[in-house]
Structure 1
């Protein structure tokens, strides 16, 4: 999860200085909780935040798999859209802050944008119902729903926490700090529960003949409705500060005026120490000095999006990696690939106190000056190491994958069912099978077959004991085929079948049956029915849930058999040869595509590393930003920080759609880029001078007061020295 959970922890001290507006004088005190100094109104805000975060993270947890399995998009397009949505969620807080501070105030902004949020969830849920229109309608509803959700969640993001802080009296600073801890816990609780529950709703509940994405999106929609209702229910208890103008807009206006004034000035104009000083004709020196301090920090933000580019891939690339891994923890407990994201939230709760009370004090005892910027650079390195770990996992994961053939090539495997004797196979113009092909019980596996064109018909000669037999292959590039050899009397015949080599990203197994029996066969595996025609007929290749299948019913035209398929494992593709024995139906099992043999637990190190990096980078970054900015400018830095998350997602979008790299190469590229960026950031940090912003702002304001005093004295002197008229 991104920094919206982390920023609350250090936001309590900042909030004292970033209140949207001062409370009106002699305001009626809000009811307290059980005689404490905690306003009753905060309970509504905490419940609202829990439900809203459950809604957001629950929907987002299954989003990538929804794109792939429901909308049937490629993994690259799914990743790009996922990060485009995530980026939009972090662009829109700026809009929400402007609306709240300039026009509506926090309360009304939360209400109105929560309604937009709810509508987005409802539209998204309706778009996941199969009976609603065609694929174009589903895509349109899904995209429109996501846009509304992005505006809703992003718009209220800068408002809810600050609105909660507004509920406390000025003297109750300790209670306000504890409130932010509770608020932070509600965010984590919502994110952990949602990333556990919504994948279960998606995968374990079947509706409309498949995974129930409508329910997985519908429950977060219901939670968002609850969040809105609870927030409105506390309306009579809230302290509502009126909007007093947006600092961000004032900053932009001041910068714009300075640039225009500098551009229009003549060469004879006096030189200024800083380009922002050109705004002194309209804006106070105090404001200009504060903007200078903010810009110094914002310059340090420039390299930061690269960290978020890696961090936010937990919900996209890492989830897709998990779909190709073994998810069985034994004892019937099977984790879902989209549930692994909960590790981040759980580890955050563990790591925050460990780093605060253990790691940082120990580093201090070693007399190492671990400044905030050094912590952030270390966090970047940890995130890069996380992607190195992900690269190692990916390299081992793809060993079980049959790579699709490139253009002008196809894949071919041969099943020799000819009386169990070896045969020679010659394909005109190619020598891909130099050795004899033994019985199907000793499979050769897939071999690359070059093609001269996109589509080709190739003559094939099959020889046994020196006797040649002729057949042909009708093949197309980029596909995989099985060539099944069998005999009818003394003649060897060929049967060609297009194969499925793509692993199931739902953790299912694909299987098919080749029926050598003289009667048709109907096989029921779980809830899936297979039909294999007689005399070397081949059933369709269908997917079944991973599991151990014994006593599988196999019915011929005259008899019922029970066969043992054994374990059908994650991501594998099997071919079963059915043949007649003396008493029973003989069965031979072949694994065309290897099962996922890398356990999903191997993802834990990369989650540990990136969460440790998040603690050092995100918490420290927010703490540093607030400590280096004057009180009136903290909201500007908050907007800048959220924009770094947005631009990080844009980076992933560009790489996912434009680079076209293998996944392990892409992981390694991101790791290398972040290391390079961390070096640049470390150099920038070396030349950064830490300041006391409140002291500098005070000096600037004192200078403003001195200027005003001198102007006042000058006016008084002008009044005294007015020349007397020479006329009577």
Structure 2
């Protein structure tokens, strides 16, 4: 997404300055090498940090999925609001060079603060949240502030006669963006999951490396300072546009009753502003009106890093041969696919459609791009419906979940008075039949559970809380005790794809168990260890009693599964039985590929085409304003997601389907708006106004009035 948008940031006028030294045998300035390397490092730092952000919120800060999604998209939204601030600072006060340096320093500080906030020893949870949010705000101001400056500053380095070289530079610049994105979304999840620090996933390192890359980006950019051609700030056109619009509204409000009606409300600014500026604003606003439905596309697109990543955590990520992908690495597919799809569309699909004599105008391409994005979310819905089959849903209010383990040595019958749950006999030492909903008469209820075994009857008084899952272990009666042991269960699957493991010790001695780097303790005579998450893999363990030591083979602990291992004494040895409480993730992560294919194809048709259309339909002076408007659609799309995430309260598959349906509806509205849009040629303004500039007030002579044409009077071209 952003990788495409950054490609077209060369909308500013290039000021005059010194000639930069050239790379050997070319017309390329040496200075662009520093800019390209700077962009690669900056994009690495941004996408690398963002790739692990959602899992950081959930696993480190302990937020739920909806809260994590909302904050993720709030951050993304801020990153696309702040380019307006960066453009104003660069064009009105500091110039692009100083703006890049000063805001890059803010950017670096944000990364450092974010990394420090991920160190467990730094304060309590509140301190971690404060540091993390402060770091993200600084990063948003840094990355957003330099976004409209870097590419345009690179374009400034070329002499006016080197147009071809400048065009190729933006292709190189675009490649550096994608290279940084692909590499970072591969590397930082590895740093997060494969490197352990402070006894857990190393988020401090996953954020620290992008911080180092941003420092490198700043140092590289400053190193080339003696070679850059710099343009002084010339005033921000967005400020000028806002003043003109404001004056027109105010003048109309004051004088509409005493002055003749005018053909367009912007014409009320003619007393103060040049007619060329007014006509250019009219052209710009006609395109901006078409932007109104566009945020819905970005609302779907930006969920790759939030909802789609969370979906991936509940899937099988093993590709065989020891190659296991991490859930937050799937985002790299978008960057890879877009590099493949752009030439395929430009040299294959579009020419083929043209051969079929189908007029595929820019607005039609954008509409098709929306439909493809909606199809991506339909595919995500199908995947989600199958993924949740391996998930145990929490119980609703006034119900709890319970599963029963029969360790009694023979079949038993369990009776909950007044309820029909567990009506069938339970066989000994077999996997439990799964969690069953147990109705309660309030927030909690005391049940006298009857356990029948071979004519003997036992009674257990057990209290169950609503919206809580339990395992009820039935074991031979202990002296002075009962046959029941009720344990509260953790049923939420790990967001990193890890498995959960616990042990039941039927041995007469206490047992300490070591599995990988995890330690367990289970007391004698049916003691139950705590639940620990372990990364997916093949495991062997060591069990130590007071008198002996045993080796155990646990086999594969698979993605997202919950295991209960029963340790028993047999023939002076130790045997185990591994039970799967909750099913492992059995939907392969490769099933996400179709949704990435649809979404990336939609991006190519929507995002690239949208930028090209916007630039072709607006005069050169308005291109920066249109880019600001385009970035605002991205920001607004993220606001839509965080609103739905916090307010909808829907199941994930239903939310995906809702977004798909909304985008289809929006695409219909957009296609209707596009049908009535009339394409114009901005170059006609040069013929109409000649050398008129913004700083000159056009006179009121009749000849010039006759030259004025409204947009509706311009020659009409093909619709949509």
Looking at structure 1, the residues matched to 704 and 563 of structure 2 have their Cα atoms a distance apart, in angstroms, of 94
Would you say how many aligned residue pairs link Structure 1 and Structure 2?
A: 702
Pick the aligned partner of 1:189 from 174, 179, 183. Answer: 179
Aligned structure 1 segments of 4 or more residues deviating by more than 4 angstroms: 8-11, 489-492, 700-707, 711-714
* Superposed displacement of residue 701, structure 1: 5.3
Give the 3-state SS of the residue equivalent to 1:565 in structure 2.
strand
Maintained 8 Å contact 1:393/1:603? yes
- SS of the aligned residue for 2:483 comes to strand
* Cα shift at 1:707: 6.0
**Counterpart for residue 4 of structure 2:** 6
Out of 112, 115, 119, the residue aligned to residue 125 of structure 1 is 115
1:283 corresponds to which of 273, 276, 282: 273
- Higher deviation after alignment, 507-516 or 431-440: 431-440
Match of 1:83 in 2: 73
Query: Equivalents in 2 of 1:465, 1:540: separation in Å?
Result: 32
Taking the aligned partners of 1:244 and 1:706, their CA distance within structure 2 comes to: 19
Q: Does 1:597 align with 2:576?
A: no
Q: Classify 1:436/1:273 alpha carbon distance in 2 versus 1 (closer, same or farther; 3 Å).
A: same
SS state at 1:589 partner:
strand
Three-state SS of the structure 2 residue aligned to 1:680 is helix
Deviation of 1:492 (Å): 6.4
Q: Alpha-carbon deviation of 1:712?
A: 11
Cα deviation, residue 559, structure 1:
2.2
How far apart are 1:21 and its partner, in Å?
A: 4.8
Structure-1 separation of matches of 2:529 and 2:701 = 95
Quick one: distance in 2 between partners of 1:447 and 1:55? 47
2:12 to 8, 12, 19: 19
Deviations along 1:115-158, whole A, 9 cap, x unmatched?
11111111111111111111111111111111111001000000
Aligned equivalents of 2:487 and 2:7: distance in 1? 60
Please report how far the alpha carbon of residue 443 of structure 1 lies from its aligned counterpart in structure 2 after TM superposition: 2.6
Q: Cα deviations across residues 654-680 of structure 1 (Å, max 9, x unaligned)? A: 000111111111111001000000000
The 10-residue stretch of structure 1 (693-702 or 367-376) with the greater mean CA deviation from structure 2: 693-702
Of 607, 612, 630, which aligns to 2:601?
Answer: 612
- Shift of the alpha carbon at 1:10? 5.3
- Aligned residue runs from structure 1 range 261-660, under 5 A: 261-419=251-409, 421-488=410-477, 493-550=483-540, 552-582=541-571, 584-660=573-649
Q: Matched residues in 2 for 1:37 and 1:442: separation?
A: 73
Contact 1:21-1:243 within 8 A present in 2 as well = no
How far does residue 537 in structure 1 lie from its aligned partner after superposition?
1.2
Select 2:699's aligned residue among 704, 708, 720.
708
1:678 maps to 667
Partners in 2 of 1:576 and 1:214 — Cα distance?
34
1:508-555 CA-partner distances (Å, limit 9, x unpaired): 1111111112122222111112111111111111111211124x2222
2:317/2:327 contact within 8 Å kept = yes
CA distance in 2, matches of 1:38, 1:544: 53
Deviation per CA, 1:581-635: give whole Å up to 9, x if none. 2354232221101101111111111111101100000000000000000111111
Distance 1:538 1:612, change over 3 A: same
- Partner SS, residue 492 of structure 2: coil
Alignment correspondent of 1:165: 155
For residues 12 and 491 of structure 2, what CA distance do their matches in structure 1 show? 59
CA distance in structure 1 between the partners assigned to 2:609 and 2:686 by the alignment: 23
Give the structure 2 partner of residue 725 of structure 1: none
Q: Which residue of 2 aligns with 1:210?
A: 200
Inter-CA distance 706–255: structure 2 relative to 1 (3 Å threshold): closer
Deviation at 1:22, TM superposition (A): 3.3
**Secondary structure at the residue paired with 1:235?**
coil
Whole-Å separation in 1 of the counterparts to 2:572 and 2:550: 10
User: Cα–Cα, structure 1 residues 116 and 713, in superposed 2: closer, same or farther, change >3 Å?
Assistant: closer
| 2:88 match | 98
Q: Distance in 1 between matches of 2:86 and 2:256?
A: 40
Q: Structure 1 145/703 Cα, relative in aligned 2: closer, same or farther at 3 Å? A: closer
**Structure 2 length as normaliser, TM-score?**
0.95
Residues 230-256 of structure 1 show CA distances to partners (whole Å, capped at 9, x for unaligned) of: 111111111110111111111111111
Deviation at 1:706, TM superposition (A): 12
Residues 323 and 506, structure 1, Cα contact 8 Å, conserved in 2: yes
Counterpart contact for 2:115–2:208, Cα < 8 Å = yes
| Higher mean displacement: 458-467 or 496-505 | 458-467
The change in CA–CA distance for 1:142 and 1:112 in structure 2 (over 3 A counts) is: same
Is contact 1:111–1:232 with CA below 8 Å preserved after alignment? yes
SS of corresponding position for 1:187: helix
Tell whether the 8 Å contact from 2:106 to 2:142 is kept in structure 1 after alignment: yes
Q: Distance in 2 between matches of 1:489 and 1:168?
A: 86
Provide the rounded CA distance (Å) in 2 between the counterparts of 1:347 and 1:112: 34
Contact preservation (8 Å) 1:96, 1:109 = yes
The DSSP-based 3-state class of the residue aligned with 1:488 is coil
Matches within 5 A, 1:37-48: 37-48=27-38
Q: Give the distance between the partners of 2:173 and 2:644, measured in 1 at CA.
A: 35
Q: Quickly say closer, same or farther: Cα 1:713–1:116, change in 2 above 3 A.
A: closer
**Structure 1 unmatched runs, 5+:** 715-728
Residue-by-residue CA offset, 1:148-175 (whole Å, 9 max, x unaligned): 1100100000000000000111011001
What CA RMSD, in Å, does the superposition of the two structures yield over aligned residues?
1.9
Residues 108 and 686 of structure 1: CA distance in aligned 2, closer, same or farther (over 3 Å): same
SS at match of 1:487: coil
Distance in 2 of aligned mates of 1:175 and 1:652 = 40
